[in-house]
Amino acid sequence: MRKTVLIPTDFTVKSLNLVKSALNANDDCQLEIILLHGLYLPDSISEMLFFSKKEAIRKLENPAFEESCQLLLSKYGSRIESLSVDLFSGYNRGAFENYLEGNRVDEIYAFTDHDFRPCHKRSFDLMPLIEKTSVHLTKVKWVDHGRRHDLDRNQLAALFFGHFSPS
User: Cα–Cα distance between 128 and 99 in angstroms, integer?
Assistant: 15
Checking if the pLDDT of 74 tops 90, the result is: yes
CATH of the domain at 126: 3.40.50.620
Instruction: Quote the pLDDT of residue 151.
Output: 47
For 30-66, what is each residue's pLDDT tens digit? Answer: 999 999 999 999 999 999 999 999 999 999 999 999 9
φ and ψ at residue 22, rounded to 5 degrees: -65, -40
Instruction: Quote the pLDDT of residue 119.
Output: 87
- Give the residue numbers spanning the domain of 65: 2-166
Contacts of residue 84, defined as CB under 8 A and 6 or more positions apart, other chains included, come to 32, 33, 34, 35
Give the number of domains in the chain.
1
The pLDDT > 90 percentage for the chain reads 75
Q: Which among 143, 130, 67, 124 is positioned nearest to 96, based on CA atoms? A: 130
**Average pLDDT taken over every residue of the chain:** 88
DSSP 134: S
Instruction: Specify the higher pLDDT residue, 150 or 106.
Output: 106
For 100-125, what is each residue's pLDDT tens digit? Answer: 999 999 999 999 887 788 889 999 99
Tell me if 152 sits within 8 A of 13, measured CB to CB. yes
Q: Which among 18, 25, 3 is positioned nearest to 105, based on CA atoms? A: 3
User: Cα–Cα distance between 162 and 122 in angstroms, integer?
Assistant: 30
User: Cα–Cα distance between 89 and 56 in angstroms, integer?
Assistant: 12
Query: Could you give the C-alpha distances from 105 to 23, 57, 89, 97, 98, in angstroms and in order?
Result: 15, 20, 17, 10, 10
| 3-state DSSP assignment of residue 67 | helix
